[in-house]
Chains A and B, each alone.
Chain A
Amino acid sequence: MNEEPLIYDLSSPGRRGVRPPLPQFEPVDPATAVPTSELRTDLPLPEASEIDVMRHFLRLSHKNHSVDTAMYPLGSCTMKYNPKVNEVTARTPGLADIHPFQPPATAQGALELIYELEALLASITGFPAVSTQPAAGSQGELCGLLSILAWHQSRGETRTQVLVPDSAHGTNPATGTMSGLQVISLPTAPDGGIDLQNLKKSLGPGVAAIMLTLPSTLGLFERRILEVVDLVHAAGAQVYCDGANMNAMLGRVRPADLGIDVMHLNLHKTFSTPHGGGGPGAGALAVQAHLEPFLPAPRVRRNGDAFELAQPPPTSIGRVHSHLGNFGNLVRAYTYIRSLGAEGLREAADDAVLNANYLRASLSDDYDLPYDRICMHEVVLAGTRQRRLGVRTLDIAKRLIDYGIHPPTIYFPIIVDEALMIEPTETESRESLDNFIDVMRRIAREAESDPDKLHDAPVNAPVRRLDEVTANRRPNVRRQPPA
């Protein structure tokens, strides 16, 4: 594929793009409205024609792989099909062309949607209270930890530590730091679960919470979850659940029933709002009743037949978003849940888990399987056998690109050597999985017979492997303006 020039290179002085609206008023000279010293003299934006702009971004889009292109088994990301009806409902003028400062009387439908979505998420997770304000999972984590700290404070306690298993997403420890907490890493037990002995030792009076991921990033359900929850509660601490993997549990277990205190949901994973090339997401936060007073504010409240924005109680951790979160994605998630119903959601979890186990059973002859047991929505393989042949997991991933499949998440969780974290999701068919299995086996054979094929991969992508070292050492992060 050819290099695509920068949009700036398609620019020509004086060329017009899209025409702005016709003026509605006799123009006001900006120099009469603001001092001329406040007016900029140059505006170095491109000057390109509409068709050139259209073609430029169309050609760029052709260089992307997407869920709608082919399988995208990126572990922990739940790259499931994004239903097209979601895009239709999110663009309903009455749900898109509405301003956040409109009086609630003119936004009853939007407020009702938020209220109802929170209720649906409460039913699915078992938690009595939900806030859809957080813009993404990480912001949900921050709200969760801040709520826990506020709860401790309301009981006259100051706790300064958070326990995070070494298999956790990097966001967990990073959120701990942003919440002013000391992060203590918990080692994983040989069976992939939490090591209870170690947990007991770590649970001092300074521990505010444990952040655990359920199912874990190893794709495993924590078999000792009830013991973990009891131990943590007995030590006066709270259990935070990273809900990135909720797709495995829909209709099979409500996390609140396990005694978990707080959980965030990634609506862009479990509830099918698209990933958008990296965002936007939405990171709803679900809590038990004792934490509800601390949720971010404002919240939508029902008052008879009307919906209103409740003033924050003094206990609330406050706002985390300019308005009410990523509303457009709330519309999509609501559409998804209403489209599937309880049965459909459970079917999604069932097929997601079945698909992952099918991959596990089918690939364990050719790849090492560090935790050989029933997995949930994802399976973690290891390229350790291939490493002995001089082939790294990175090479396996890059070779997958040549076969038109997006690589799994690699080298994560960090506790697994040469990890390949594979999440097929429920929307891949058996044929699609069989193709993936076939390709993975072929790559395993290539690693034995022709390892350079893997070292050189990809050769069928728009570009070959990149020089990331120079990119880091001498960052070029913007077009250099002409001197």
Chain B
Amino acid sequence: MSYAPNTDADRAAMLRAVGVESLDDLFVDIPARHRDPELDLPPALPETDVIRHLGELGARNATSSDLPSFLGAGFYRHFVPALVDQQLLRSEWYTAYTPYQPEMAQGTLQAMYEFQSLVCDLTGMDVSNASLYDGASALAEAVLLCRGLTRRPRVVIADTVHPAYRDVAATYVSALDVDLHVVSAARRDATSLRPDLRPLVNAIDDQTSCVVIQRPDFLGMVVDPDPVVQAAREHGARVVVVVGDPVSLGLLVPPGDLGADVVVGELRSLAGPPAYGGPGAGMFAVRTPLIRRVPGRIAGRTTDLDGKNAFVLTLQTREQHIRRERATSNITTNQALVTLGATISLCALGRRGLREIAEQSLTAAHRAAQALADAGAVIASAAPYFNEFIVHAPGGAAARLERLRQEANVLAGIDLGCVSPTFADLILVAATELTTAGDVEALASAWARTR
């Protein structure tokens, strides 16, 4: 079974038309001794059985309905309206390919244009592409853009940028002449953490191509980046801002208004459940002068022969299929379907809806922090935060998280040891508009019980 409709009679007739005896004759260019290996694969399963099998695998994972979850760190469980998945299941969207023939892909192209417009509106930037793979590779591409632009070797990254994003950026530049300089941007005083931008400011010099900060940062803090932006301007360096939770843009001053040259981020949370971390969608937005350096696809508005408004992939001379080794990036396939989901979600929520879920997220996080404090926890966040905060776990974050899960069935957060070994007694807790009062009660009472 291969979903192939040919019957044996069809095959026989087609082989005659081709002028060969058998299917084997079509594979004679393969070296004979390597032809027709036995593949060691399990037997084929009909639809019902494959669904059952995958259901069994799924049953061995805990979902957010099984365990109250306060996990965030780039993937947030946000409300995605029901119409989004109904749309994503339309064949015209998901079984189409890259709109290389614009006359029969106006749907995808206009949706891309609307996506780009929404990203610009949300971030305060001028130009957005149609997406990169995820937040992490979007950051890597931003670093490459700034390197190409400034021809400077040094990149200054705050350690309050998502650690996996920093790792991916490091991989992307590993074969290039780039000095990735990770700088502390948070100060630890006993049980509290507060932002400290001075080391970042001091690290920016005349060899710095860009400085990378995150907002809200990986620790959840909302920090005015102005000193960093000023220092970057002074030294001719660019400012790259990673957006933490895209829903925060419903409430907070957008990075474009704060002096960002490039804005990147992860949009999965707007389009569907976390799907174990992928597929996500990398947001990538810049200022107008950088438009011809942007990696990946961009849709543009134009007209057809009759003067009708229409959309087309544009500025393609940036891209690999035209420019080959001189392209701005090697990316071709992007995350179109995820960005379509984000687009529809943002439109369905609208101006007020996004603002309300942003406010509810902020509320849920602050109520959760209060409940934890009432349960005896020490809240370590010593700066304003949006929907993520830090709790001090004196015996170590990993052990406490494991006890909270095993004894109280709560996924309470993330061990911040992934940022720095000195943070291994801190837990990052996230809440959203989908966090219920019951979830918060469960967390607080679990915290009190597991101390």
Contact = CB atoms under 8 A, between A and B. Distances in A.
Interface string A112-149: 11000000100110100000000111110110011001
Contact of B117 (A353, A427, A468, A479): A479
B280 to A, nearest CB: 7
The 7 closest A-B pairs by CB, nearest first: A94-B58, A323-B277, A100-B277, A341-B44, A276-B337, A109-B60, A68-B91
- For chain A, what secondary structure do more than half of its interface residues adopt (helix, strand, loop), or is it mixed? loop
Contact of A465 (B2, B6, B103): B103
A221 B351 contact: no
Interface stretch (B23-31, B183-191, B193-201, B443-451): B23-31
A101 to B, nearest CB: 5
A314 interface: no
Interface stretch (B205-213, B229-237, B360-368): B360-368
Contacts of B56: 109
11 contacts: A8-B117, A35-B384, A39-B253, A53-B347, A61-B87, A99-B411, A323-B278, A374-B20, A374-B26, A426-B4, A472-B315
A389 interface: no
A74 B97 contact: yes
Interface string B105-121: 11110110110111011
A319 B136 CA distance: 9
Contacts of A181: 175
A97 B268 CA distance: 12
B129 to A, nearest CB: 9
Interface stretch (A194-202, A285-293, A326-334, A444-452): A326-334
Contacts of A442: none
B251 to A, nearest CB: 6
Task: Give the interface centre of A126, A249, A376, A465 by most chain B CB atoms within 10 Å.
Answer: A465
Interface string A334-362: 11011111111111101101110110111
A103 interface: yes
A288 B64 CA distance: 39
B420 interface: no
A466 B304 contact: yes
Nearest to A414: B324
A277 B108 contact: yes
B149 interface: no
A478 to B, nearest CB: 4
A177 B327 contact: yes
Contacts of A358: 14, 17-18
Nearest to B216: A34
A231 interface: no
B67 to A, nearest CB: 7
A344 B310 CA distance: 42
Given A34-B362, A173-B320, A276-B93, 16 more contacts: A3-B309, A6-B110, A17-B347, A25-B363, A54-B86, A62-B92, A66-B94, A68-B91, A95-B61, A109-B56, A279-B338, A338-B42, A344-B44, A426-B2, A426-B4, A472-B316
A72 interface: yes
Contact of B332 (A82, A171, A318): A171
A66 B92 contact: yes
A483 interface: no
B362 to A, nearest CB: 6
Interface string A274-309: 111111111100000000000010000000000000
A430 interface: yes
A317 interface: yes
B63 A24 contact: no
Nearest to B337: A276
Contacts of B367: 25-26, 28
Contacts of B251: 30, 39-40
B391 interface: no
B325 A275 contact: no
B21 interface: no
Interface in A33-92: 33-35, 37-40, 43-48, 50, 53-54, 56-58, 60-69, 72, 74, 77, 79-83, 85, 87-89, 91-92
A354 B15 contact: yes
Contact of A279 (B104, B131, B176): B131
Nearest to B76: A99
B350 A15 contact: yes
Given A47-B352, A64-B93, A252 B27 contact: yes
Interface string B341-359: 0001011111111111101
B279 A253 contact: no
Contacts of B274: 97-100
Contacts of A85: 47, 50-51
A353 B27 contact: yes
B263 interface: no
Contacts of B44: 338-341, 343-344
Contacts of A176: 325
A343 B191 CA distance: 61
Given A30-B362, A278-B97, A252 B36 contact: yes
B18 A60 contact: no
A319 B5 CA distance: 41
Given A353-B27, A354-B23, A342 B38 contact: yes
A110 interface: yes
A276 B433 contact: no
Given A126-B37, A478-B120, A296 B171 contact: yes
Contacts of A339: 1, 44-47, 50
Given A45-B346, A89-B54, A99-B64, A149 B276 contact: no
A92 B55 CA distance: 7
Interface in A190-218: none
Contacts of B4: 347-348, 351, 426-427
A327 B118 CA distance: 26
A295 B282 CA distance: 23
Interface in A225-266: 225-226, 249, 251-254, 257-258, 266
Given A15-B350, A322-B168, A97 B64 contact: yes
A22 to B, nearest CB: 9
A106 B130 contact: no
B157 interface: no
A96 B276 CA distance: 7
A365 interface: no
Given A109-B61, A278-B336, A322-B134, A38 B222 contact: yes
A21 B232 CA distance: 41
A50 B278 contact: no
A250 B87 CA distance: 33
B138 to A, nearest CB: 10
Given A24-B437, A277-B336, A429 B96 contact: no
A38 B304 contact: no
A407 B299 CA distance: 20
A4 interface: yes
Contacts of B43: 341
B355 A257 contact: no
Contacts of A108: 60-61
Contact of B30 (A48, A64, A221): A221
B122 A320 contact: no
